[in-house]
């Protein structure tokens, strides 16, 4: 994006995209909160009096640098909150994931940051994003270590391609029933139409916080990737209202319960011979029938096992060893 277009963005959007929390931090500090800037791109705002009943909410955006819609939406949410700071009823950690990738409008610089949240990174360990993940892991640990049991993490993304349900979410299965059901209900109130239950970590930030910190976590997909400043923010109205309510301790507006899908296959790219059986632009939640070939990879042939499976995140361009798609079924 040109310098002139960037300068034309609202100040709050420019600030968040550059991870400049100066003004917001000052406003919360002046209102008596304990404000921390533990790392570049990370802001924490906590009640001055520790309170185990107070929810701890981690809001992350820009984990992929070209997923700009949530950056715009959250910039407006946080800007409004910082101007009425006493309305904040949770301990908040705000995280801008891939600051350098946002600056150049790319998904990542070297390798996908959202595959680094795992103990064994293999050949990803030497990448630029591995260092960033270490920084975020440490800041996240410090935030949740002092928190009470009501822990949330919403990692806001956008999908690369169109989706039959434009707003959907991925929820780690290991979250306990009570908080998981509350999270899914809240996601519906935020306009999420479909929820995919995820049984296994792919090295994602949301799975990490659920597994390591007992958070009710979700990767939330809000439409498609777009250019900063050119996203249609009206598509985020329900999510924006739900976030407003969450951060202020208010009930979220009514919303329909999302459809729930189970993950039945994770398709891993094993080699450079990996070929998908359909085009790159195949929409998320496209149905395939039993026996259909999903992908081939040398001698490995991935086929549909159930009567019908829906493909999500088909991406043959990932590094060898990483997830190239998932197959889901309706519960
Ligand atoms: O559209 C795509 O192919 C990717 C969109 C995206 O970044 N999705 C997340 C999902 C993370 C999860 O499974 O919880 C990702 O792939 O990192
Ligand atoms: Zn993403």
CATH number for 96: 3.40.630.10
Residue nearest atom 3 in ligand 1 by C-alpha distance: 313
Which pLDDT value is given to residue 280? 84
Rounded to whole angstroms, the Cα distance separating 303 from 292 reads 5
CATH of the domain at 283: 2.40.50.630
Q: Which of 248, 281, 310 is the last residue of a domain?
A: 248
Residue 30 scores a pLDDT above 90: yes
Task: With cut-offs at 50, 70 and 90, classify the pLDDT of residue 259.
Answer: very high
Is the beta carbon of 160 within 6 A of some atom in ligand 1? Answer: yes
| Element housing 241 (H / E) | helix 237-248
Domain around 309 = 262-330
Which pLDDT value is given to residue 162? 97
25 and 117 share one domain: yes
What average pLDDT does range 287-301 have in this prediction? 98
Q: Ligand 2 centre from 137 Cα, in Å? A: 18
Residue 233 scores a pLDDT above 90: yes
61 and 116 share one domain: yes
Residue 93 scores a pLDDT above 90: yes
Which pLDDT value is given to residue 169? 98
* Entry pTM: 0.97
In a domain, 254, yes or no: no
59 and 164 share one domain: yes
Report strand pairing: 300-303 vs 293-297. Answer: antiparallel
Is the beta carbon of 152 within 6 A of some atom in ligand 1? Answer: no
88 and 205 share one domain: yes
Residue 140 tokens, joined: 């996240």
Residue 43 tokens, joined: 């802001």
Residue 209 tokens, joined: 């916080």
CA-CA distances (angstroms) from residue 223 to 166, 170, 188, 189, 236? 5, 14, 15, 16, 9
Region of 20 on the Ramachandran plot (φ > 0 left; ψ -120 to 50 alpha; else beta)? beta
Task: With cut-offs at 50, 70 and 90, classify the pLDDT of residue 1.
Answer: confident
Q: How far is CA 192 from the centre of its chain?
A: 13
| 63-91 pLDDT per residue, tens | 999 999 999 999 999 999 999 999 999 99
Q: What is the 3-state secondary structure (H, E, C) of 80-111?
A: HHHHCHHHCCCEEEEEECCHHHHHHCCCCCCC
133 and 223 share one domain: yes
Residue 4 scores a pLDDT above 90: no
176 and 305 share one domain: no
The CA angle 260-264-270, to the nearest 5 degrees, is 135
What average pLDDT does range 181-198 have in this prediction? 98
Q: Is 221 labeled as catalytic in the residue annotation?
A: yes
Task: Work out how many domains the chain is built from and give that number.
Answer: 2
For ion ligand 2, residues whose CB falls within 5 Å? 64, 67, 157
Greatest Cα pair distance in the chain:
63
Rounded to whole angstroms, the Cα distance separating 10 from 268 reads 40
What average pLDDT does range 1-14 have in this prediction? 90
| 306-320 pLDDT per residue, tens | 999 999 999 999 999
241 and 266 share one domain: no
Is the beta carbon of 311 within 6 A of some atom in ligand 1? Answer: no
Rounded to whole angstroms, the Cα distance separating 98 from 112 reads 10
244 and 266 share one domain: no
Give percent of the chain above pLDDT 90: 96
269 and 233 share one domain: no
Instruction: In the chain, count H helices and then E strands.
Output: 9, 15
200 and 87 share one domain: yes
Ligand with smallest separation from the Cα of 198:
1
Backbone angles phi, psi at 184, to 5 degrees: -65, -40
Within 121-280, strands assigned E span: 151-159, 167-172, 194-198, 216-224, 259-268, 275-276
75 and 205 share one domain: yes
| 102-158 pLDDT per residue, tens | 999 999 999 999 999 999 999 999 999 999 999 999 999 999 998 999 999 999 999
Is the beta carbon of 219 within 6 A of some atom in ligand 1? Answer: yes
| Element housing 12 (H / E) | helix 11-17
Q: Which of 221, 248, 275 is the last residue of a domain?
A: 248
Which pLDDT value is given to residue 277? 96
266 and 234 share one domain: no
What average pLDDT does range 174-194 have in this prediction? 98
Residue 2 scores a pLDDT above 90: no
**C-alpha gyration radius of the chain:** 19
In a domain, 255, yes or no: no
Which pLDDT value is given to residue 104? 94
Residues forming a β-bridge with 91: 56
What average pLDDT does range 268-272 have in this prediction? 97
**In 71-83, which positions are buried (b, 16+ CB within 10 angstroms) versus exposed (e)?**
bbbbbbbbbebbe
Residues 246 and 91 sit within 8 Å (Cβ to Cβ): no
Dihedral of alpha carbons 14, 19, 20, 22, sign: positive
Which pLDDT value is given to residue 168? 98
ipTM > 0.85 (yes/no): yes
Query: Which of ligand 1's atoms lies nearest the C-alpha of 206?
Result: 14
The overall average pLDDT reported for the chain is 96
In a domain, 256, yes or no: no
In a domain, 202, yes or no: yes
């Amino acid at each position: 994006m040109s310098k002139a277009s960037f300068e034309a963005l609202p100040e709050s959007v420019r600030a968040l995209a550059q991870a400049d929390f100066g003004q917001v931090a000052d406003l919360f500090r002046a209102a008596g909160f304990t404000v921390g800037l533990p790392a570049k791109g990370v802001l924490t705002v906590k009640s001055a009096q520790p309170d185990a009943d107070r929810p701890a909410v981690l809001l992350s955006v820009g984990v992929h640098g070209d997923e700009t819609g949530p950056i715009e939406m959250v910039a407006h949410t946080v800007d409004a909150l910082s101007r009425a700071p006493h309305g904040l009823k949770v301990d908040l950690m705000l995280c801008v994931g891939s600051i350098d990738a946002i600056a150049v409008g790319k998904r990542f610089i070297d390798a996908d940051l959202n595959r680094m949240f795992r103990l064994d990174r293999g050949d990803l360990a030497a990448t630029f994003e591995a260092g960033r993940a270490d920084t975020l892991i440490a800041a996240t640990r410090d935030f949740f270590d002092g928190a009470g049991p009501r822990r949330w993490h919403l990692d806001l993304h956008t999908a690369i391609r169109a989706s039959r349900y434009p707003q959907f979410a991925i929820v780690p299965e290991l979250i306990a029933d009570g908080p998981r059901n509350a999270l899914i209900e809240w996601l519906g109130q935020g306009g999420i139409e479909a929820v995919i239950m995820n049984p296994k970590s792919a090295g994602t930030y949301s799975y990490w916080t659920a597994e390591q910190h007992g958070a009710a976590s979700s990767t939330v997909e809000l439409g498609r990737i777009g250019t900063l400043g050119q996203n249609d923010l009206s598509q985020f109205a329900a999510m924006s209202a739900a976030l407003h309510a969450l951060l202020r301790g208010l009930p979220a507006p009514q919303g329909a319960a999302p459809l729930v899908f189970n993950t039945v296959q994770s398709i891993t790219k094993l080699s450079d011979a990996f070929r998908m059986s359909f085009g790159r632009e195949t929409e998320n939640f496209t149905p395939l029938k039993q026996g259909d070939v999903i992908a081939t990879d040398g001698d490995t042939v991935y086929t549909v096992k159930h009567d019908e499976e829906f493909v999500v995140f088909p991406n043959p361009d990932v590094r060898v060893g990483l997830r190239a798609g998932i197959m889901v079924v309706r519960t």
